[in-house]
Every structure is written in structure tokens, then in C-alpha cells.
Structure 1
Amino acid sequence: MVPYNPDKSLRIRLDSKEVVFRRIHRDGQKQVLQGDITFYTQSPTTIKSVKVILQGVRKVSWLTDTLQPQYVHQKETILLQEQKLHVYVKNAAQASRAEPGLYTWPFAFTLSGELPESVNWLPADTYICYTLTAEVATGMFSKAITTTENLRLIKSPSYWVDDLYFAPEVTEHSTQRARSKTADAIHLVSFLSNQIRDLTFPSLSLLVSLPQPHLPLTAGALPIAFAMTAAPSRPPRIPAITCTLIQTIQLVVTKASLPYRTTKHERHIASTTLRRCDVDALLRQHGPPQPQADGDATTSFEAALPLPLPPYGLAQSVDEEAVKVRYRVRVAAEVGPGAEDSEAGGVCEKVVHLFPKLFAPFRAPGAGVEGVGAREGGGRESDDGRGACSCGSSTVSLPLYGEHVFDALYSGDLGLAEEDMMEFSDAG
């Protein structure tokens, strides 16, 4: 933002407005933000001082859901650095007035990876934002000239490569091993590179797998893999497998550096159900079952959980001190009716939860383009979750992603930078 002045202008020029933290910054290396302040004047001007201020602000707010609703909010400064680039000192052989022309002062700030990343997509006036302000004081009776630039601090997936378990529930069961098969057993097994859960019924075992950490949402769907093991003499009957993505947003207000008040809001993002005909079609598509040493046969198949696309895209997972955005996938499998698992012909249902950490690409504001599904025609959402989204009586075309949240333009099959993929493939 450039301040309006008839004969003076002040600008901040930065190498980049996006500061990306990667694995090396998690290990202690600092990130450097550098640029320069440019001041142009068309008339002789007294320059008393020039300074640049880097500030980070975190604000959380919500309206309580009580009989008498109350507005709860807290705003605090999480970063404040100031550099004086020029100070006029009387009797120090300095000219009292600067001649018309262009003046430049370079600056550099050192940033730690411990800073929370920018958050500007949450509702209810909750955000974490960083700004850089330049100020030129031109005299005792003149108003200082200021200009401000917004910054965005981003933590790439490689920064989180050591924190593969995002939710406490996953860490709690991370060392638990599969128990022997019993009628009521639900095995909770966690591996380093994938999250795996085992739904065990008397007649079959259903292994559910989810990539962890989950890469950016490039395909508009969350892939969930299944491996079904059953005796060939007792073919399984699965009426339905339902996968639901749930988002939890938690905001915290502190007092004396300790949690004081909190609110937690949970909402369903997307859901998909594989009916018996869908499961049978997937089983036929993936070929005959693979025989195991114990005589059982294993068949693998995959389901895609469609996700909303911009402008209704997901917020990125956040795990900061006062702002937390988390996701979990609820997988419910039904066996029966008529299977041996069911008493009196009923349906036996078991549920497991998986906890992905989502890195969502963001679209630059105003960069609306026709969506992938919208080009295929029709204003109704297709079965695979692509296409236009109907909202009430109006239909909104879903645009493609524009600017990627990390450090490169995102389109089609373009992946992450090489350093962002580090150790993902061999994390286990």
C-alpha cells in the first residue's frame, strides 16, 4: 500500500511476501526476510527518522452459545521487531534537509520457525497476521508518512515431517499392536507412514488405510484404501461402508499464559457411502482375491472421499497455541444382514477414526476460473464430487486452484518442491 501524497511516496520492496519454513528451519536454521524502503520526494524535505516495524498479531473471538450470549475475544502481539534505518542528529555533519530525489534504506529481519503460521480464513474475526510497516518522520509539525505490507508465514509439509501423528488419539495408540481376532475386537494399529485401522468381524477383517501426513489436496478427494480378508467358503456381505470427514475448530483465550476459556466447534465436511453393489463392483475391478498362508483370501480396493473445492475449500490444519483446526475421518462398516456376524439377521456395525493432517492449496482472491467439473457441463454436483456446487437456488461454478499455499503455482498434476517432499517416501 502506497500512501497518497502530492510530492512524496513511500514503498516497501520485499524479495518475497511469503516466508516459507521448511525442515531446515525446524532444525534451528532461521529464515531471513529482507528488502528495502524506498522514499521519493519532489521537494526538499527534512527526514528526521526512518524506521521499519515487523509485527505479528493473533486474535481469537467467538460468541458463546448460552442463554445470554457473550462476546469473548483476545488480541495479543506475538511478534514485535523494530529497526531504525536513519536518524537525523543535529551537529553531526548531516544536512538538515534532503534534496529532491530517491532514497533507499535496506533492512533484514530474522524469523524463527517457532512463530505460528498465518491464519486468515477462519470466521468470527479470528486470525494470525503479520505486517511490515515503514515510517518516515519529516518534521516536528508534519505527520509521519507510513506504508504497510502484509506478510504470510507458511509452514511447508517438510516442516512437519517429524510430527506424523497430528491428534492425541493417534499418539495414544501408536505403540499398540494387533490383538488376536475375537468377535468384538477392533484393532487400532498405527504405522509411521500411513494410518491403519483394522475392523475385525468373525467372518472377515477389514483393514482401513489413510496416507499420513496427507499431501496437498490435489485431486479434490481424500483416498482411503481398504484390504478385506475373509475365508473363501464364507463370502462377506457388506451392505455399506460410510466415510465421513469431520472438521474441529478450537479457539482458546489465555490468562496469565494459561488456558482460560475455550470453545470447540465441530462440523461435517463431506461424506461418501459405498453400498453393497459398489463394494462388489470394486472387488471385481481389482481382480481375484490373493490367497494367504492361513487359507483366507485378501482383496484390496480404494474409495475416494470427495472434498469441497474453492470457494468452499477446506482450511489447512493448524496446531498453534490458541488456534487449532483438526480433521478426522470416521469409517463405519456394516456386515449383514444374514452374515454370521449378525444375530437374528441384524446388521453388525463397527467404527474407527483416522486423523489426517491436511495441507490445503489456497486460491488467490478474485482468481475465479471455470472448474474442472464445470467444464464437463451441468450445474449439479457429479457423483465423484466434482463439478458445480448448488447453493440454494443459485449455482456457483467451482474455480480451479490458483496460487498454491506453499511456494509455487499450482495447476493440474504439479507437485511440491523437492525439498518439501523430503523423507515422505521413506518415512517408515
Structure 2
Amino acid sequence: MSSRTFEQDIEQLHCDDETAVQYYDSRDAQVSSDLLDDHALRNKLVDVSLIQNTTHKLANQNVQTENPPPFILFSAIGAADFASKEKPLRISRDTLRTLIESCGFPHQLPHTFAFSIPHISHYVHYEDGSPQPFAISFIVRVPRNSGAVTIVSRMTLHDKACICLILAAQDRDASALRDKCIQHKDLIARYPFYPMIFLLEYRLGGFGRWLRSLWHGVGLLEEETGMTPWMTTKGKSSVDLAGEENKDYGQTLQKLHAINVELTLAETTMKFATEFVKFCGMMLDLVERTNKELKLPGMTPAHRQTVEGEIRYNEKLCQFSRDKFQELLSRVGSQINVTFSLIARQDSKTSTSIAESAARDNQAMKTITIITLVFLPSTLLATIWSSGIFAIDLDRSWRIFLGTSIGLTALVFAIWMMILQKINAPLKAAPKLSPV
């Protein structure tokens, strides 16, 4: 990466104006938890530069030292997305530039900070004009929603000296990883890239808690729909069952969609975790192969077997966790379909109830209409009769009234039937749907 691109990436980062970094040196007698400001950190970086120069001289002279390799650790707090202004990186921009240069970290590091996505990469460093590698470094950014952790580490091949930088969005993550590295500094002396394995184990523990939380949430949502063979609510009464028929599943559907989004995110995260485990195994092989090519002492078979065993264990743990996340995602998808079916069934029952009510109302209206049509002609005729317009013999008036009423009623019914037939004719002529 060119110096111009490196400077551009540095300038784009949103860093704090003041520096607050914890520093650890395995050669110190006591562990300090003090936060170093810009001036104090720059003084420590001078010591780091001296370590780098000493290592260069010993490597050029092919001199092996009996002293344990130094382990230098920096840790700081900052947002998962370091381009965000909400939680800036607690290292000033100039000091961060000096830190990267003094420790010999890859210049791609600032560019990695600017993204809120997972990242793993390694780099083999060569001295100018030398065909042999001098150091190996890696950059890892492991996400967990907004609580991402970034580790960059550099190991010199000659003396196995390790310089490591831990950056975490949450203070508890940075403290936990720092304490883990300090507690197991002897393991790091044997294999300098142990901080990468510590990060893997720490994150897999968080993924396990995430899995249990989502697992429990999916179980509760399955109980809400009643579509599960593992019901924990026993002995539901008929009143409870009647309530299920009238239950509003809109909120349940919203919860299912929310947990579906989180499970989709978990699936992507576990895919990265699988690649991270493979990366740990690849880095172990790379370090051992490079040591062999340079005729440098490597790990003992017992130590290598220990590291490989931890990687294999985490690989299986990651694989089974990923399988469980995929199972939960599939179950949630099924529950979403079930919930849509339950909502459709409720809508169908509501529509059926409305149709039955309308049919009853329609039947009542037909009865009223028929009664009206029966008595309305007689009522009309009686009104006309009583008005005195017609003079009819009283002896035969009832016969005339009865005959006229019957004829008029029949005429009204005939007209009504003709009107109904004309209205229903288009419906009868329409093509009928075949049964499903």
C-alpha cells in the first residue's frame, strides 16, 4: 500500500484528541493498568523501536538468545466502526500513525478500521534486499453486532518476539482479552499468535450465549403459534383454547420477522467464524513451515499438538453452532408460514361469519318482501274501495274485491320474478370455476 493511501486512510478515521492506551511488557516485573497519554505512549514506542532494532541485529548475525521472547501488548477502546463519530478511537491520529510505524504493523490496518464488516488477513514482511522473510503479521476483526474486536499482531521469526494491539468497542471485551493474554504469556512465548486463538475462544463463547438466547426465543414463539411438539404449557383449558381462536397473531408475526433478521445476521457471523478457525490453522502451518525453511527452531511436537487440538475443538464447536443457527432459521421460516396460515384462517372464519350473518339478514329481507307483496295489493285495493270512487253492488263487492286482489297480487309477483331473473341472468351466464 502506498504512503499516500496510508495517509488518506489515517485522515479519514475519527480519532479522539487525547490518547488513553493500556500498555504491557512481559519483561516488566509488575503489570500496570494505567492509561498512557500521548507523551507516555510515545516514550514506550521508543522502547519498541529499540526491540525491533535489536532483533534485526541478532537476525543479521544469526545469533540466538536464551532470554524469553518479549511480548508487547497495547489495548484501547473505540467504536466498532472507527469512521463513526459516536464512539471515536481513543488514540490520537498522530499517535496512531507513530504506533503503526514503530510496531511495523501492516499499512492496511487503518483501511480495515473504516469498515463495519469482518476481516482476516496476514502479511509476510521482508527486509529490504533480503530474499528471506523477517516477520509475519495478521489483522483480524471479529464482529458481534456493534461489539466488534480488532486484533493486529506482528511476530518476528528470529526470536519469536510479539507485538500486539487490541481494539474493542466495549471496555469489557478489551479488558477480558488483555487479561487472558497476560495470564497466558508463557503460551504466547511458545506460539506468538496465541492472541488470535484467545480471540476465537472468547468470541465463540459470546456466540454460544447468543445461540442460547435465540434458541429460547424461537421456542417461545413456537408456543405462541401452538405448532411445536415440545409445549411447556400443560393442561390448557377450553377457555384458553377458545382464546387461541381469537388471538391476534400480528404481534407474533412481527416478533418472528425480528428474530429472523437476527438469525440471518448470526448465520453470516458464523460463516465468518468458520473461516476464522481455518485461518488459525493456516497461520500455524505458515509459521511452522517458514521456521523450517529458515532453519529456525519451531514448536515442540507436544506444544504443536496442544495448539492443533484447541483449533480442532473450536472448529467443531463452530460447526455445530452454525448448524444450530441454520436449524433455528429454518424453524422460524416455518413458523412465519404457519402464522400467515393462522391469520388467513382467522380471516376466513371472519369472512364466513359475515357471510352467514348477511345470509340471515337476506333471508329476513326476503320474508318481509314476500309478506309486503302479499298484503300490499289488497291494502291498495281496500284504500281505493273505501274512497267511494267506484259504486259496486254490496252483494257481490266481496267477490270482486277478492278476485281483483288475487289477480293484482299475482301480477305483482310475476313482475318481481321477471326483475329478479333479469338481474341474475349475467351471474348465471358467467363461467364457473372448476373445483380445486
Normalising by the smaller structure, the TM-score range is under 0.3
Q: Which has the higher contact order (CA 8 A, sep 6+)?
A: 1
| Greater C-alpha Rg | 2
Q: TM-score, normalised by structure 2?
A: 0.20
Which has the larger share of strand? Answer: 1
Which has the larger share of helix? Answer: 2
